[in-house]
């Protein structure tokens, strides 16, 4: 029995073939193709920390010396430490919810560090690592999860759009933005602009993502679609979302797709630089599927033990994105224990500051929800603000009697 992935046969001249059904082996092979890295996975650093040369991608990381790699390591350790701190703070009642990024540090730091300041990034809700690479202060980000802010940063200054909770919706926003870059003639050479849009494996089933793909494709928009395939959309596994590996979907829209090891920060950096370069020169869009794993719950409201086995997590722990860089640096004598200790101390300090800020964050006045909705004042909104304030005053007046 052939066990290659099964696809529908090409229609022939004769009557429809009744036997055009996949064998059980082919079904299993097809499902595996969506949920295992496979031979197509672009990798530069193995889980054991060994550097694999790549004829195609080495030139995109030719400038990455020991210092740069140490900085990427530091980025990932800091981001993970902040993530763990925020998770703990949610458990202590200081945050309404937290969306962990644990396990996705390489995908986010690698791709984020590939961007230029002039580029624009459109995140979903888990991209704290990308936010960090765009210079967004983690303290500004935490307000979203303490429910004091919708987004606490200047998205133009940072080239980092507000978080989007509606699954896949940011893909349309990003397609529109990238089309604008194209229309305004900001594409064409080395100095060109590009946009990157982050979304999950589950989001690929949304209509918005399909529409974004179509618009970006037909306008040759400078847009890198960065899909973090973390294997799960809450409790739905990737193999329930697609019959073929996600990166291959790009083919149907007429642009290139590539699968990268999302736990390999060097490969993510190289592949995203390549994709951005294509876009800057007018050869966009490009789809990157970063093959990774969500090591924690979907959010702090989720309990993954109800739908997945712990041996899966144990397997992915062996592919940890931080450990492989550490192994590479240590094995080759590029970094000693003092370096790793100092990064850890810095990360602890980073987390302590985040914690201190969160605990002492000022309560915003209740009518703040009406500000920053529109660029210009709106009479309807002003009336609503007044009504709300007098409603609140009613409580104060009642308390006086
Ligand atoms: C339009 C829409 N439908 C449903 C939801 C509820 N929801 C929130 S996260 C999520 C799963 C998304 O999975 P994926 O795209 O893989 O991203 P991940 O959370 O794994 O990063 C769903 C269904 C939503 N936020 N928006
Ligand atoms: Mg997912």
| 294 Cα nearest atom in ligand 1 | 20
Q: Whose CA is nearest to atom 8 of ligand 1?
A: 167
With a pLDDT cut of 90, the percent of the chain lying above it is 80
Q: Is the pLDDT of residue 215 over 80?
A: yes
CA of 161 to the centre of ligand 1 (A): 18
Q: Round to whole Å and give the CA distance between 357 and 87.
A: 15
**Residues 165-174: b if buried by 16+ CB within 10 A, e if exposed:** eebbbbbbbb
Looking at residue 1, its pLDDT comes to: 39
Q: Which atom of ligand 1 is nearest to the CA of 208?
A: 1
- Ligand 1 centroid to Cα of residue 202, in Å, is 6
- The Å distance, Cα 200 to ligand 2 centre, comes to 5
Give 328-364 pLDDT, tens digit per residue.
999 988 999 999 999 999 999 999 999 999 999 988 8
pLDDT at 307: 95
DSSP state of 292: -
Q: How far, CA to CA in Å, does 324 sit from each of 167, 264, 290, 294?
A: 31, 8, 17, 17
pLDDT band, very low/low/confident/very high, at 239 (cuts 50, 70, 90): confident
Name the most confidently modeled range: 7-21, 79-93, 357-371. 79-93
Q: What structural domains and CATH numbers belong to the chain?
A: 31-359 (3.40.50.970), 366-394 (no CATH)
Nearest ligand to the C-alpha atom of residue 205 = 1
Spacing, Cα 127 to ligand 2 middle (Å): 12
How are the residues of the chain apportioned to helix, strand and coil, as percentages rounded to the nearest 5?
A: 50, 10, 40
Q: What is the mean pLDDT of the chain?
A: 92
Q: Which protein residues touch ligand 1 with a CB less than 6 Å away?
A: 126, 165-167, 199-203, 230, 232-234, 294, 298
* Most confident region among 36-45, 85-94, 392-401 by mean pLDDT: 85-94
Mapping DSSP to helix (H, G, I), strand (E, B) and coil, where does residue 257 land?
Answer: strand
pLDDT of amino acid 243:
86
For the cut 50, the answer to whether the pLDDT of residue 2 exceeds it is: no
Residues with CB under 5 A from ligand 2 (ion): 200-202, 230, 233
Determine the atom of ligand 1 nearest the C-alpha atom of 168.
1
pLDDT of residue 53: 96
pLDDT 10s digits, 240-295: 899 899 999 999 999 999 999 999 999 999 999 999 999 999 999 999 999 999 99
Catalytically active residues, by annotation: 294, 298, 307
């Amino acid at each position: 029995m052939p066990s290659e992935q099964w696809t529908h046969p090409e229609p022939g001249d004769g009557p429809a073939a009744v036997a055009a059904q996949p064998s059980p082996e082919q079904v299993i092979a097809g499902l595996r193709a969506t949920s295992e890295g496979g031979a197509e996975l672009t990798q530069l650093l193995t889980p054991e920390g060994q550097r694999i040369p790549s004829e195609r991608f080495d030139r995109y990381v030719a400038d990455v010396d020991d210092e740069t790699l140490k900085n990427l390591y530091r980025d990932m350790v800091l981001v993970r430490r902040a993530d763990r701190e925020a998770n703990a703070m949610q458990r202590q009642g200081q945050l309404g919810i937290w969306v962990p990024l644990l396990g996705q540090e390489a995908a986010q730091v690698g791709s984020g560090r590939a961007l230029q300041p002039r580029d624009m990034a459109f995140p979903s809700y888990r991209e704290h690592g990308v936010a960090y690479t765009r210079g967004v202060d983690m303290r500004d980000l935490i307000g979203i999860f303490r429910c004091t802010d919708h987004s606490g940063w200047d998205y133009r200054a940072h080239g980092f759009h507000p978080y989007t909770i509606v699954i896949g919706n940011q893909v349309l926003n990003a397609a529109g933005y990238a089309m604008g870059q194209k229309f305004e003639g900001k594409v064409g050479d080395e100095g060109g602009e590009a946009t990157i849009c982050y979304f999950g494996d589950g989001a690929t089933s949304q209509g918005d993502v399909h529409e974004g793909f179509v618009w970006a494709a037909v306008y040759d928009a400078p847009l890198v679609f960065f899909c973090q395939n973390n294997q799960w959309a809450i409790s739905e596994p990737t193999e329930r979302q697609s019959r073929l590996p996600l990166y291959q979907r790009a083919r149907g829209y007429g642009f290139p797709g590539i699968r990268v090891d999302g736990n390999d920060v060097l490969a993510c950096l190289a592949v995203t630089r390549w994709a951005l370069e294509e876009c800057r020169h007018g050869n966009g869009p490009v789809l990157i599927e970063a093959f990774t794993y969500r090591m924690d719950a979907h959010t702090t409201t989720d309990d993954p033990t109800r739908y997945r086995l712990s041996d899966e997590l144990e397997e992915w722990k062996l592919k940890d994105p931080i450990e492989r860089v550490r192994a590479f640096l240590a094995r080759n004598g590029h970094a000693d224990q003092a370096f790793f200790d100092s990064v850890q101390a810095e990360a602890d300090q980073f987390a302590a500051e985040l914690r201190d800020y969160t605990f002492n964050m000022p309560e915003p006045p209740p009518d703040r929800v009406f500000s920053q909705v529109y660029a210009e004042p709106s009479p309807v909104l002003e009336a609503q603000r007044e009504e709300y304030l007098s409603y609140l005053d009613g409580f104060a007046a009642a308390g006086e009697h």
